[in-house]
Amino acid sequence: MDTGSVNAMRVDSARLPRPKTTASTSPAPKKRRGDRSHLGPIVLAAGAGLLLCSFANALARETLAPSPLLYWAGVLVIALPIFYRLTSREASFGERLGLVCLLGLSLYMVKVVRDAPIFNFSDELVHSFNANQIADHHHLFHHNSIISITPHYPGLEGATSALMSLTGLSSFWAGTIVVGAARLSLVVAMFFLFQRLSGSARVAGLGVAIYTGNFNFLFWGAQYSYESLALPLLVVIMMALAERESSPRTWAREWGLPIVLATVAIVITHHLTSYALVVFIAVLALGHWLLRKTWSWPNPWKFAVLAAALALAWLLLAADSTFGYLSSPLSEAFKAVFNTASGEAPPRGLFQSHGSAIPPTPLLARGVALLAVLILTVGLPFGLRKIWPRYRSQPFALLLTLAGIGFFGTLALRLAPQAWETGNRLSEFLFIGLAFVLAGVGLEKWRPKGRPWVGRALLAGCLGVILVGGAISGWPWDTQLARPVRASAEGRTIVSPPLAMAEWARDQVKSGRFAAPVADARMLLDPGNHLSLAGESPDIVDVVENTSLEGWEVPLLRENNLRYVVIDRRELASDGIRGYFFTTEGAGFDETLLPKSAATKFDAVPGAERIYDNGPITVYDLEGKR
Amino acid sequence: MRGQRDLAIAAWGSVLCALLALVAPWPALSLVFAAPLALLAPGYAIVAATFARRDLGWPRTALLSLALSLATLVIGSFLLNYAPGGIRAISWAILLPLVTIACCRAAALRRPKSGGRALPRPKIGRSDAVFVLGGLALAVAAVVLAMTTLPAKNARGFTELWVTPQVHRAGGSAKIGVGSEEQHETSYVLRTRVGNGTPAVRRFTLRPGEERTIRLYTTPSGDGAPVPVKAQLALAARPGQVYRQVSASIPGTPQ
C-alpha cells in the first residue's frame, strides 16, 4: 500500500518528538528488511472471522442454539491478528492505517451480518421510520410517536434520505451504508488524533484497538441511530483541533471550515453529542488558558462559543422538547445515584436483564467482562505514569487523560438502577480518553528473556479480552446472536408474529394510530409505516397488559387519538430488544404468555371490533362499529 | 480547472455520477454512482478548496473527504427542506454536484499554478491482492449468508386472520384474509357470516407464507345501519374448535 508522504510515522515513533508540522512535511524513512506488509493475510483472516460470525448467526436463526464460542471465535479471528500486528514495531504508518480501517469495518460488519436485511434494534426502527417519512414526504421534521425528539435532530435520516432517493435503496441499506461510512470516519479520525497527540503511529493504532473494547462499540454504537453519526463527527472535530494546534499558525486557519461544518452537522444530528462537543471544546479552551495563560491562538475558545451558540439556537428554535426529553432521565439518574449512595435503595445487580425469565449471563462470560474492566483499571496507573511527564503541559492530552479517569466514574453509575443508562452513554465519549491513556502503557515492549513476542502477544490477548468483555458488558448475553424474524418453510418465507402484524397494518390499514406494546409499536413504525404509542406516558403499558378493563383506559385511548389497540400476549412484547422474533419451541423464556383476558377484555368495549388475530397478537379497532 | 486533474475529475465526475445514479434502473447499480457522489465528491471538493495551498497527504484528505461529505449530506438535507420541491432525488442530484463544482472552482482559484495533486496509486503485490480478494470474497459470503432466509424448525408457526371493511358507491364489502405463517401446509375451515345471512363455509389449504383473501359484499341497508361481518377460522384437523376469529361492521349505505 502506498502510504504517500505520511510514511514518516512508520518507525515506532513513540520515541519521536511530538510533531510540530503536518506529517506530510516529514521525510520518509528508509524501508528496512522484514518490513513487508502483513495486511493481505490479515484481511483474509478478517473475512474468515466475519464468515464465522455470520455462520454462528445463521445457526442461531435456524434455532439450532449454536455455542456462543463459535461466534466469539469469529470476533477474535477478526481482531487478534490485527491487534498483534498493531503491537509490532515494523508495521508502516500506511499498514497501521489499513489495519485500523479493517478493524473498524469488520467489527461493524459483525453487527450487520447479525441483523440483515431488517433493522431490529429498538432505536433503529424509530430512525428508519423517520428516514422513510423524509423519503415519502420530501421534508424533515415529521412527527414520530415513539421518540418524539428524534425528528427534531434529522441529520442521520437526512443523510440517509440522499442515498434512498438517489438510488431507491431501502432505509436499511442506505442507513447501513451511512453508518458504515461514519464508522470508518470514527476509527480513522481517532487514529490521526492519537497519532498527532502522541507522535506515534503505533500508539495511535493501539489506541483505536483499545477503543473497540468500549462497551457500546460492537452493537449499540453501530446501530442505525443518530449518535452513530454524531460521535464520529465529534472525533473528526477533535482530530481537526489537534491538527490545527500542531500546524504553523499560518495554516491553522484552514482547519476552521472543516471544524465549523462538522459542528453544524453534529448540532443538526444529535443533542447529547452537540452538548458533549461544547463541553469538550470549552474545557480544552480553559485548559489552554490555565496552562498557557492566553486566549489567543491556538486556544479554540471561538469554536466553543460557536458550538454553544449553534446548539442553543437549535435547542430553542427547532428542538425545544429536548429539555423535557433529557431532563427526566438525568434527574432520575441523579436521584438514583443519591439513593444508592445513601443506602436508601439497593444497588443494581450487574448483568441483569429486566425479565426474570431471561436466561442469566453465564459465569464465564461475566468473568471475561469483569476481567476486561480489571485490565483497564490496572492499566490506568501505568498509562498515567507515562502521560504525566510527557504531556503535562499539553491541554489536549490532559483533557483526554481526565476523560479516561472519568470513565471509571461511569462504571459506578452502572450500580445505580436509573443511572446505568446515563453511565453507559457517557462511557462511549470518555472511553476515547481512556484509550489514549492506555495506548501508551508500553506492554508491547516487554521482552522477558529477550523474547519480544511475549509482550506483544500478552498485549494482543489483553486487547482481545477487552473487546469481548466490553461487548458482553454492553449488550445482553442472550441477544448477542441473531434470532429469526423471517424463516423459510417448504420453500417459502414466513415471518414472526409482530412482523406479520406490522406488514398487515402497512398493507391493509389506511390511516389511524395504534396503541401497542413496545416491540409491536416499533415494528408498526417500520415496516408498518403507522404512528403508534407505547410505554408509560401515556400509560399504554397498562392498557395492553391489564387483564381487565379499567374505566380510564378507553377514554385515554380516545384522548390520544388511538383508533387501534394491539394486544400481544407474549410477555416479551414489552421488551424492545427481544420482542421482534419468532417464539422458539422449548426456549421457555420467550413462550410466557399473558392471560387470555388481556386481549378479550376489549371484546366488551362498545364499538370495538377485533379485526386482526394471529394467535399471540390481536388488534382491535375502537371505531369498528361506527 | 485547467491543469488540476483531480479537481476536474471530482467536478465532472459528480455531474456524471448524478446523472447515472438517476437513470440507473436498479438500486445496486445506482449505488455505484450515488456512493461517490454522496460520500466522497463534496467532501473532497471542500478539502481541496480549504487546503488549497498545501497538501494534507492522501490519508487525511480521504478521511476529511468522507467526513465532510457526511456533513454536507446532513446540512444539505436541512437546506433542501426549505427549497422548492423539498428533499428529492433530483434536488440531491443538483445540490451535490453544485457544491462539488463550486468548491472545485474555489480550489482551482486558490491553488498555486503548479499545485495539481497527484491521485494516490495504491501499490499492492500479487500475493497481497490474492489475500485481499479472498478476504473480500469471504466477507461477501458472510453478507449473503446473513441475508439468506433459513429454515427455523423450532420457530413456532401461526396463522393470521383479518378483516377490512370497505365502502363502495353501490354498497359495502369486507375483505377477509387468511395468511399462513405455519411451518407446514395447513388446511383450514373458514366460516363467514354477513349480517343475518346464512353462514358460508369455505375449506382450503395454504402452504407456508401463502395468503388467501375473499371479499364479502353487502347490499345497501334500508336505514343506513352498519352490517356486521364475522369470520371464524378453524384448523381442518379440529373443525369444531375456533382457532381465530375477527369481526367488523360494514358502514351503512342507505338506499
Task: Give B121's contacts in chain A (Cβ within 8 Å).
Answer: 2
Backbone phi, then psi, for B189, in 5-degree steps?
A: -125, 120
The pLDDT score that the predictor gives to residue A20 is 42
A·B CB contacts under 8 A? 374
Nearest CA in chain A to B48: A254
Q: How far is A247 from chain B (nearest CA, A)?
A: 11
In chain A, positions 503-542, which contact chain B (CB-CB < 8 Å)?
A: 504, 508-509
Q: What is the pLDDT of residue A3?
A: 37
pLDDT given at position A18: 44
CA atoms within 13 A on the CB side of B22: 14
* Number of residues that this document lists for chain A: 626
Of A238-242, A271-275, A417-421, A618-622, the range with the lowest mean pLDDT is: A417-421
Write out residues 29-48 of A within 8 Å (CB-CB) of B: 37, 39-41, 43-48
Distance to chain B for A232, nearest Cα, Å: 8
Q: How much is the pLDDT for B239?
A: 92
* B174, A611 contact by CB (below 8 A): no
- Pairing status of strand B158-168 against strand B171-181: antiparallel
Nearest CA to A54 out of A69, A68, A71 is that of: A71
Determine the pLDDT at residue B170: 65
Least confident range of A152-161, A442-451, B41-50, B78-87: A442-451
Q: Do A487 and B51 touch (CB under 8 A)?
A: no
The pLDDT-based confidence of A12 (bands split at 50, 70, 90) is: very low
Q: What is the pLDDT of residue A26?
A: 43
A226: chain B residues, CB-CB within 8 Å:
none
Flag whether pLDDT at A6 surpasses 50.
no
Residue A252's pLDDT band (boundaries 50, 70, 90)? confident
* pLDDT at A308 exceeding the cut of 90: yes
Residue in chain B closest to A93 (alpha carbons) equals B59
Please tell me which residue of chain A has the smallest CA distance to B71: A265
B165 contact residues in A (CB cutoff 8 A): 624
Q: What is the pLDDT of residue A8?
A: 36
What mean pLDDT is reported for chain A? 90
The fraction of chain A above a pLDDT of 90, given in percent, is 75
Instruction: Determine whether the interchain pair B249/A625 forms a contact, defined as Cβ–Cβ distance below 8 Å.
Output: yes
Q: What is the pLDDT of residues A172-220, one digit of tens each?
A: 999 999 999 999 999 999 999 999 999 999 999 999 999 999 999 999 9
Q: CB–CB of B59 and A63 under 8 A?
A: no
User: Which residue shows C-alpha cell 487514529?
Assistant: A191
Contact B138 A44 (CB under 8 A): yes
ipTM of the shown complex = 0.94
- C-alpha distances in Å from residue B80, one per residue of A308, A551, A580, B77, B84: 24, 48, 35, 5, 8
| Confidence band for A593, pLDDT divided at 50, 70 and 90 | confident
Cell output for A31: 524501508
Do A309 and A392 contact (CB within 8 A), yes or no? no
SS3 content of chain B, % helix, strand, coil (to 5): 45, 25, 30
Residue whose C-alpha is closest to residue A98's, from A73, A111, A81:
A81
Best CA proximity match to A188, nearest among B249, B70, B77: B70
User: Is-contact B236 B200, C-beta < 8 A?
Assistant: no
The answer to whether residue A418 scores a pLDDT higher than 80 is: no
Q: What is the pLDDT of residue A15?
A: 37
Say which residue, A285 or A588, is predicted with more confidence. Answer: A285
Q: Which residues of B touch A194 (CB under 8 A)?
A: none
Q: Which residue of A has its CA nearest to B225?
A: A626
Please, which pLDDT band fits residue A346 given cuts at 50, 70 and 90? confident
Is A613 touching B (CB cutoff 8 A)?
yes
Q: Name the pLDDT band for A626 (thresholds 50, 70, 90).
A: low
Do the Cβ atoms of B60 and A192 come within 8 Å?
yes
pLDDT at A555 over 80: yes
Q: Where is average pLDDT lowest: A26-40, A464-478, B21-35?
A: A26-40
Q: Which of A54, A492, A508 sits opposite B208 (nearest CB)?
A: A492
Whether B63 and A493 lie within 8 Å, measured CB to CB: no
pLDDT of residue B253: 58
pLDDT at A30 over 70: no
Asked whether the predicted pLDDT for residue A14 surpasses 80, the reply is no
Separation of CA A222 from chain center: 4
| pLDDT tens, residue by residue, A257-270 | 999 999 999 999 99
Give one DSSP letter per residue of A521-573, joined into a string.
Answer: HHHHHTTT-S-EE-STTTTHHHHHH-SS--TTHHHHHHHTTEEEEEEE-BGGG
Work out the minimum CA distance from A288 to partner chain B, whole angstroms: 25
**Which residues between 122 and 161 in chain B have a beta carbon less than 8 angstroms from any beta carbon of chain A?**
122-125, 127-132, 134-139, 141-143, 145-161
**Mean pLDDT value of segment A17-44:** 60
- B124/A273: higher pLDDT: A273
- Rounded to whole angstroms, the Cα distance separating A224 from A128 reads 8
Q: Return all residues near A218 (Cβ < 8 A) that are at least 6 apart.
A: A75, A107, A110, A111, A212, A467, A470, A471, A474, A475
The A residues from 568 to 607 touching B (CB cutoff 8 Å) are 582-587, 591
Yes or no, beta carbons of A162 and B96 under 8 Å apart? yes
Contact list in A for residue B63 (CB cut-off 8 A) is 185, 188-189, 192, 236, 239
A609 part of contact set with chain B, CB < 8 Å = yes
Chain B contact present for A233, CB below 8 A: yes
Q: What is the mean pLDDT of residues A600-626?
A: 90
Q: Provide the chain A residues 151-190 that lie in CB contact (below 8 A) with chain B.
A: 154-159, 161-163, 165-169, 173, 177-178, 181-182, 184-185, 188-189
Q: What is the pLDDT of residue A610?
A: 96
* Range in A215-219, A349-353, A491-495, B212-216 the model is least confident about: A349-353
Q: Do B71 and A45 touch (CB under 8 A)?
A: no
Average pLDDT value for residue range A218-239: 97
Q: Is the pLDDT of residue A22 over 50?
A: no
Question: Which spans in A149-294 are helix H?
Answer: 155-167, 171-198, 201-211, 226-246, 249-252, 256-269, 271-292
* Closest Cα in chain A to B82: A139
Say which of A162, A169, A612 has its CB closest to residue B160: A612
Q: In this predicted model, which residue has the larger pLDDT, A110 or A604?
A: A110
Q: Which residue has the cell 453507559?
A: A424
φ, ψ at A427 (rounded to 5°): -60, -30
Residue A105 pLDDT greater than 90, yes or no:
yes
Using 50 as the pLDDT threshold, list the residues of chain B that sit under it: 255
Bridge partners of residue A487, in order along the sequence: A494
Q: Confidence band (pLDDT; 50, 70, 90) for A588?
A: low
Give yes or no for residue A294 having a pLDDT over 80.
yes
Which pLDDT does position B115 carry in this prediction? 59
Task: Give the closest of A135, A268, A490 to B185, CB-based.
Answer: A490
Angstrom distance (rounded) from CA A398 to CA A283: 11
